[in-house]
């Protein structure tokens, strides 16, 4: 097994964990499932068992070619090659064993889409960033975007020994159920606000050309207030 170094991929080898991920997705015959990262295809056939359609997108040309050879006979499967996060497919359920390097990109892409639920496997440390609450020193812009847009639940831990080649860290499977949708500009503005994280929100507002009567810091503010400030920057 060769690690696709440019994509940061490690391939899941546990069939039981793959089946658990699919079970968590609660796929019905009405669902269009988007799988990002076909990989070795451990999830793909299982996703197809219950879905109306599965769209599986693979960035790596070798893995895509292998998938075409082994999976193309599945009638409700559409295999595509390319960067899923530069595409705009319609889907109701999102499932992915995300390459670690794509985790943030995936969250920022998902907060702009309308869907029912996402089941994703990410690095444990990244999941902890998503779950940081108000007052947490490790709070980041991605924490705000995720907690504002999704109900997030940790579903299962996955040891690094379940991958080939094994990564240095453990992973976690999480569920995202959509609450809100944001625009690309709001996402950029939230990221911009957090580039001044050490300053008070009053000082940050001055840099952004808006007046904010508060000496709180971003880590102390509810997600909704931060999003409202991001919207004011847009206007």
Query: pLDDT tens digits, the chain, 235 residues: what are they?
Result: 334 444 457 899 999 999 999 999 999 999 999 999 999 999 999 999 999 999 999 999 999 999 999 999 999 999 999 999 999 999 999 999 988 889 999 999 999 999 999 999 999 999 999 998 766 677 899 999 999 999 999 999 999 999 999 999 999 999 999 999 999 999 999 999 999 988 999 999 998 889 999 999 998 899 999 999 999 986 6
8 Cβ neighbours under 8 A, 6+ residues apart: 99, 100, 101, 102
Q: Are strands 77-81 and 53-58 parallel, antiparallel or unpaired?
A: parallel
The shares of helix, strand and coil residues in the chain, as percent rounded to the nearest 5, are: 40, 20, 40
In the chain, domain spans:
11-181, 186-234
Only one residue has tokens 């390097």, namely 101
CATH superfamily of domain region 11-181: Vaccinia Virus protein VP39 (3.40.50.150)
Alpha-carbon span 41 to 58, nearest angstrom: 10
Element (H, E) at 153: strand 150-158
Q: Would you say the pTM of this structure is higher than 0.85?
A: yes
Which two three-digit tokens encode residue 84?
């899923």
Element (H, E) at 146: helix 141-149
Neighbours of 65 (CB within 10 A): 12
């Amino acid at each position: 097994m060769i690690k696709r170094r440019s994509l940061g991929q490690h391939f899941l080898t546990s069939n039981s964990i793959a089946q658990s991920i699919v079970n968590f997705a609660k796929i019905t015959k009405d669902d269009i499932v988007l799988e990002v990262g076909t990989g070795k295809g451990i999830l793909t056939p299982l996703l197809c068992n219950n879905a109306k359609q599965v769209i599986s997108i693979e960035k790596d040309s070798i893995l895509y070619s292998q998938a075409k050879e082994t999976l193309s006979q599945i009638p409700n499967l559409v295999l595509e090659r390319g960067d899923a996060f530069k595409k705009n497919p319609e889907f109701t359920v999102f499932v992915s064993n995300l390459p670690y390097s794509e985790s943030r990109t995936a969250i920022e892409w998902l907060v702009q889409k309308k869907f029912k639920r996402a089941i994703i496997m990410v690095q444990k440390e990244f999941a902890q960033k998503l779950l940081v609450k108000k007052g947490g020193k490790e709070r980041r812009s991605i924490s705000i975007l995720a907690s504002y847009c999704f109900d997030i639940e940790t579903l299962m831990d996955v040891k690094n020994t379940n991958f080939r080649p094994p990564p240095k860290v453990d992973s976690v499977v999480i569920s995202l159920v959509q609450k809100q949708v944001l625009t690309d500009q709001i996402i950029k503005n939230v990221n911009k606000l957090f580039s001044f994280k050490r300053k008070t929100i009053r000082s940050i507002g001055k840099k952004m050309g808006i007046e904010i009567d508060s000496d709180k810091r971003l880590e102390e503010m509810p997600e909704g207030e931060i999003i409202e400030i991001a919207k004011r920057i847009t206007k």
